[in-house]
Structure 1
Amino acid sequence: MNSQFTLLVRIVLGTVLIVFGSNSFLHFIPLPTPTGAAADFIKLLSATKYIFPVVGILEVFIGIMLLLKKGVPFFILVLAPISINILLFYLLLDFPGVSAALIIALLNAILIYKYWKRYSPLFL
Structure 2
Amino acid sequence: MNSTVTMIVRLLLAIILLVFGANKFFNFIPMEAPPEGSFMDALIKTGYMMPLIAVSEIIPGFLLLINKWKGLALVWLAPISINIVLFHIAFDISTIAPAALVFTLNTFLIYINWKKFRTLF
Q: TM-score, normalised by structure 2?
A: 0.91
Cα distance in 1 between the residues matched to 2:111 and 2:61 = 18
Secondary structure, counterpart of 1:100 in structure 2: helix
1:117 is matched with 115
Q: CA RMSD in A?
A: 1.7
| Superposition misfits of 4+ residues, deviation over 6 angstroms | none
Larger mean Cα displacement after TM superposition, 92-101 or 24-33: 24-33
Cα distance in 1 between the residues matched to 2:65 and 2:29 = 22
| Structure 2: stretches of 5+ with no match in the other structure | none
| 1:73-104 CA-partner distances (Å, limit 9, x unpaired) | 11111011111111111111101101111101
Alignment-mate amino acid for residue 60 of structure 1: I
Cα distance in 2 between the residues matched to 1:75 and 1:7 = 15
Specify which structure has the bigger relative contact order, considering alpha-carbon pairs within 8 angstroms and separated by 6 or more residues. Answer: 1
Task: Tell me the CA shift for residue 35 of structure 1.
Answer: 5.0
Q: How many residues align?
A: 121
Task: Tell me the CA shift for residue 2 of structure 1.
Answer: 6.9
1:4 is matched with 4
Task: Tell me the CA shift for residue 121 of structure 1.
Answer: 1.9
Task: Tell me the CA shift for residue 117 of structure 1.
Answer: 0.7
Task: Tell me the CA shift for residue 59 of structure 1.
Answer: 1.1
Cα distance in 2 between the residues matched to 1:2 and 1:47 = 45
2:62 is matched with 64
Closer, same or farther: CA 2–68 of 1 in aligned 2, 3 Å: farther
1:31 pairs with 2:35: no
Equivalent of 1:97 in 73, 95, 113:
95
Alignment-mate amino acid for residue 9 of structure 1: V
Secondary structure, counterpart of 2:38 in structure 1: helix
| 1:41-82 CA-partner distances (Å, limit 9, x unpaired) | 011111211111011012112111101001001111101111
Q: Is the 8 A contact 2:34 2:41 kept in 1?
A: no
| Structure 1: stretches of 5+ with no match in the other structure | none
1:14 is matched with 14
